[in-house]
Amino acid sequence: MKKGKVEKYLMSEREFQEFFLTTWVETASVKVPGTRAPLTGEPLLELLRGASEFQALFGKLVKRGVPAPILRELLRTKFRGTKRGVGHAEIGEALVAAAAAVNGFSVHVQHGDNGDGHTVTISGPPTVSFSTDLFKSADYAALLELWEKVAPLAKGSTTVSEGEGRERQVKSVEELLGVALDMSRAGATVQRYKGLGEMNPEQLWETTMNPETRTLLKVTMEDAVGADEMFTVLMGDAVEPRREFIEKHALDVANLDI
């Protein structure tokens, strides 16, 4: 990445966002609905970090099958699936109510056995299915906490300002983060490297070989039996177990290289 006189190698998407946004908040401001003064500097950076984490977790639950409008409605009403006294039946009822509040999704709830999570099917297109266990998960609890931080962004138009005369209006968490990243990257040149073989010797030294700056990751095998089973499934001759594994865990993939 190069911007002005600064040239830097960034290893992850998180580092990428952090670098650009940290610099950008020094000259930018965001006026959130319901606040008197615009946010700048560190408070603005914290808001953007929260927006980034919120967007990632929100997308994760949507991939699990929960329609985005229904998930937003549950967050808006601050529904807590982990609250004492809230069981799978109450979660199913909350989903039906949320669906009715948005645009009338058809929701069918099939009760689980022996206290297990209920299976929720929502007619499409596309038709999706998921377990009420999702709303008792750590991911949903974390999403609800993040929502408390970014909820004001959904209450009206947020003004994003940079320098003199550069002003944008946004109406959602996703739009704010997108505009902030677009503005922060203005004038930057970005080159992505898929592998070390694409780098010249100088780049390879700076990013990977230099003992003072390189990143070393330690891989451990705490569960040797489990690891052996994993390799057998993924690398063995049997096709069906591998197909079942891929279908089961496809939505957990963070970075897919084809």
- Same domain membership, residue 140 and residue 74: yes
Q: Is 197 a domain residue?
A: yes
DSSP string, 97-130: HHHHHHT---EEEEPPSTTPPPEEEE-SSSPEEE
- Same domain membership, residue 144 and residue 86: yes
pLDDT digits (tens, 9 = 90+) for 120-143: 999 877 889 999 999 999 999 999
pLDDT digits (tens, 9 = 90+) for 205-243: 888 888 888 888 887 877 778 888 888 888 888 999 899
Question: CA-to-CA distance for 14 and 2, rounded, in angstroms?
Answer: 17
Q: So what's the pLDDT on residue 254?
A: 66
- Same domain membership, residue 159 and residue 41: yes
Q: Is 180 a domain residue?
A: yes
pLDDT digits (tens, 9 = 90+) for 152-193: 888 888 999 987 778 899 999 999 999 999 999 888 888 888
Q: Is 215 a domain residue?
A: no
Chain mean pLDDT for the chain: 88
Q: Is 257 a domain residue?
A: no
- Tokens representing residue 81 in the block: 């699936």
- Same domain membership, residue 76 and residue 138: yes
If one compares 41 and 10, the residue with the highest pLDDT of the two is: 41
Q: So what's the pLDDT on residue 256?
A: 64
Q: So what's the pLDDT on residue 103?
A: 78
- Same domain membership, residue 118 and residue 98: yes
Of 133, 150, 167, the last residue of a domain is 150
Q: Cα 210 to chain center, whole Å?
A: 32
- Same domain membership, residue 227 and residue 101: no
Of 109, 135, 150, the last residue of a domain is 150
pLDDT digits (tens, 9 = 90+) for 54-69: 999 999 999 999 999 9
Query: If pLDDT is split at 50, 70 and 90, which confidence band does 2 have?
Result: confident
Asked whether the predicted pLDDT for residue 39 surpasses 90, the reply is yes
- Same domain membership, residue 141 and residue 28: no
- Same domain membership, residue 77 and residue 145: yes
Which CATH number is 23's domain given?
3.30.300.370
Q: So what's the pLDDT on residue 186?
A: 86
For residues 74-91, give the mean pLDDT: 91
Owning domain of residue 39? 2-54+155-209
